Amino acid sequence: MLMPSIFNDHFVENLFDDMFTTPFMNGKSPFGKVGMNTDVQEFGDRYQLDIELPGYEKEDIQAELKDGYLTIKASHSGKVEQNDNKGNFIRRERYMGQSQRSFYVGKNMKQEDIKASFENGVLKLIVPKRAELPAEEKQYIRIEG
């Protein structure tokens, strides 16, 4: 599965990332990307991810760092709203269930370096920039003949 990276802009990754959330599908994807629109901003020493999670509470959200991937999971409980007139739903568009999204942040990232806050339906993550490791010097084997 292709995962978007916050460190670069890959057209092909974005193409596949958004393939199943076209307007024709009304933003509802069977692959779990429901309501996780994300803005990624680059600052001098950090990246900031603002992830829209409308209708979620802080307790509904998890952020996990594993093998260089920062994964955001959100789940709505299946509790049914009660109303006095006991009307039947003709249309129900608010999403109930689980969704998640992952971003590659690098294998040398540490959990304690990432800061998170949640306010007004927006999860804000601050991810520090890491110094890039120098490229290994290539060593070629001489071919005789």
> Rounded CA gap, 65 and 109, in Å?
8
Give the DSSP H or E segment for 38. Answer: strand 38-42
Q: Out of 50-64, 69-83, 87-101, 120-134, give the one with best mean pLDDT.
A: 50-64
Q: Read off the pLDDT of residues 87-140 as tens digits, 9 standing for 90 and up.
A: 787 877 776 778 899 999 998 999 999 999 999 999 999 999 987 666 778 888
Q: Give the domain range for residue 111.
A: 11-79+93-128
Q: Tally Cβ neighbours within 10 Å of residue 32.
A: 14
Domain contains 19? yes
The domain that contains 43 carries what CATH number? Answer: 2.60.40.790
Q: Is residue 5 part of a domain?
A: no
Separation between Cα atoms, residue 54 and residue 11, nearest integer Å: 27
Q: Give the chain's domain count.
A: 1
| Rounded (5°) CA angle 20-23-25 | 50
Residue 113: inside a domain, yes or no?
yes
| 39 Cβ contact partners less than 8 Å away, ≥ 6 residues apart | 49, 50
| pTM score of the predicted model | 0.64
